[in-house]
Amino acid sequence: MKKSNIDISIIIVNYKSWKPLRKCLQQLVAIQSTEFNFETIVVDNCSDDGQLALFKSDFIGVKFFENSGNNGFANACNFGAFRAKGAYFLFLNPDTLANAQALEALLQTAKQHPDYGIISCQQCDEKGNLNNQNKLFFSPSRMFGLFRIVYKIAHQSYLNQRFNKSKSIVFPDWVSGSVVFISRSWFEKVKVWCEDYWMYYEDVDLCKKVSELGGKIALLKTVTIIHAHGGSTRINVKTKALTKSEVLISRHVFIHKHFNGITRFSLQFITVFYQLLINSLMGLLGLLLWFRPKFKVHYYLSVNIFKYYFRLPFRWEWLSERSVNYKKALC
């Protein structure tokens, strides 16, 4: 990876999210600061719709790269990082609106605390509603919604203390990939984003690797970046079903990578059984209520999940067929 006197390389992954991306870039281009300098890199995951050339002419100072295909978030992040020159990387979603105050706070915190492997900040929607950032790693005790409710009740005192609203910095287990600030040295130490994931859980995986190497995951509560959550993925019924199914597939990948022995087997078995049961019921409901888009999503989701599970015995591989590493394994 190249290096120069640039402080921050902002890396944005795009796939047909041109409308929010335009707002995102306009906000970045307008930033002026004497405290830091930065470059902006956009990696387009082969949207192939003619918009890339237009954006190149509209945003002369932004570096645009076209990926070889829709290779997923992790692969595109690495693609951008390998071409970045900054001492620090800020991975941003195209549906975010950053500001100079947030960038400066992230940079200064990283410089003052080199043990903070990953830093993020508060995120809110366009109406100012804060997103929940009190994130914990996936575990058997928090597998399903009911389990999580019981866990929160049983550990309420501990969680209230850990994520106290009066604190300026809190330390969750992981932060969303929509805003990830990491130094070049930490990025190289964790050996970049894992390309086993096509979409989702790659941020959890990255934070897990940082934690295992003794780094802290820090969340700044003094600054906020606007994030129109889901604006870059949830475009239509089939896209919603695809993204929801990829969440489940990536969960299987995460379990396989970070658990062992009987625990891994049990978690995979329970997840498969539960998803087959739930998606059978919701898929049938989707057929009956086809005229409602919400239920149509459940039908397409059930089809995606059944296809995925049907193919498992023939390839015995948890990776999504869309992930780069799955495609490499086929070569």
The lowest-confidence range among 109-113, 206-210, 289-293 is 289-293
Domain boundary among 201, 227, 253: 227
Report helix, strand and coil shares of the chain as percent, to nearest 5. 50, 15, 35
Residue 1 lies in a domain: no
User: What percent of the chain is modeled with pLDDT above 70?
Assistant: 96
Given a cut of 70, is residue 192 above it in pLDDT?
yes
Domain that holds residue 34: 8-227
Phi, psi dihedrals of residue 187, rounded to the nearest 5°: -60, -40
Phi, psi dihedrals of residue 286, rounded to the nearest 5°: -65, -35
Distance of CA 189 to the CA centre of its chain: 19
Q: What's the CATH number where 172 sits?
A: 3.90.550.10
User: Domain count of the chain?
Assistant: 2
93 shares a domain with 161? yes
Residue 206 lies in a domain: yes
141 shares a domain with 222? yes
Residue 2 lies in a domain: no
Distance spanning both ends of the chain, measured CA to CA: 26
pLDDT value of residue 4: 66
Taking only the tens place, the pLDDT of each residue in 31-49 is 999 899 999 999 999 999 9
Please list, residue by residue across 91-110, b when 16 or more beta carbons sit within 10 angstroms of its beta carbon and e when fewer do. bbbbbbbbbbebbbbbbebb
265 shares a domain with 215? no
92 shares a domain with 221? yes
Name the pLDDT band for 308 (thresholds 50, 70, 90).
very high
Residue 79 lies in a domain: yes
pLDDT value of residue 331: 64
158 shares a domain with 286? no
Q: List CB contacts of 104: < 8 A, sequence separation 6 or more.
A: 33, 35, 36
* CA 105 – CA 98 distance, rounded (Å): 12
Which has the higher per-residue pLDDT, 4 or 150?
A: 150
Given a cut of 90, is residue 320 above it in pLDDT?
yes
192 shares a domain with 109? yes
Taking only the tens place, the pLDDT of each residue in 244-254 is 999 999 999 99
